A = this chain, B = another copy of it.
């Protein structure tokens, strides 16, 4: 499948099959509204890009060589790190949301696994070596074309951490009852931590998957500004660490 898709993507990047025209939705469905053109020039030949609708989705296509500049969602990976019943958070050193708290997380890079990426971000933002235990939450945020995958993790030897400037101003371990709910930077983190604390309290971790719908521009703690929908909670016998 991976070879297929890689080659298919490569093929589609250079030539849109005629058979694809008209596909992509039920017959008679309205085409999606034309978005703002994000890119102007072809990466391959430098020709002018235009937005066309070859397969039910708007694509940036080169008017010269027909290269299709596909956009795909990006994956954000991070950790919820536990140490002696407390949770590692970082206070953001850069905008947006400078001064507010979050978990270590960032974009997955090409060539790395999601767990390796989560560990790398934790080292980069919190100066902490961690052991990754298991995937914990996977949240789609389709409005911004991102997928969040946060792993449960534990501090690894030498069990130290330190804020890394400029990304972080502080790094600290919080007891669940001391989490700064009113000073969290992002709603995805707020939802993830609420589930984590609930799972800690009942003594067993689930895996949580779902879709975050968020009002654009809203803060993480505004009532009604976001909700988790299509939430799938898979209970597992994995015991939570003792507090």
Residues of A within 8 A of B (CB): 1-9, 17, 19, 23, 39-46, 49, 57, 69-76, 78, 92, 94-97, 102-103, 105-116, 124, 133-135, 138, 140-149, 165-166, 185-189, 207, 209, 211, 214, 230, 232, 234-238
Question: In the complex, which residues of chain B have a beta carbon less than 8 angstroms from the beta carbon of A92?
Answer: 4
Instruction: Please give the count of copies of this chain that the complex contains.
Output: 2
The CA of A161 and the CA of B141, in the complex, are separated in Å by 30
A72 in complex: contacting residue of B40, B109, B113, CB < 8 Å: B109
List of B residues within 8 angstroms of A107 by Cβ: 5, 9, 70, 72
Q: Which residues of B contact A72 (CB under 8 A)?
A: 72, 74-75, 107-110
Cα distance A221–B236 in the bound complex, in angstroms? 32
- The residue of chain B having its C-beta at the shortest distance from the C-beta of A219 within the complex is B3
* Residues in B neighbouring A214, C-beta threshold 8 A: 2
A92 to chain B, nearest CB (A): 7
User: Max chain B CB contacts within 10 Å: which of A2, A3, A41, A112?
Assistant: A2
* B contact residues around A146 at 8 Å (CB): 2, 5-6
> Do residues B140 and A138 form an inter-chain contact, with CB atoms below 8 A?
no
Determine the chain B residues whose CB is within 8 A of the CB of A95 once the complex forms: 7
Q: Assess whether A111 is in contact with B142, with CB atoms less than 8 Å apart.
A: yes
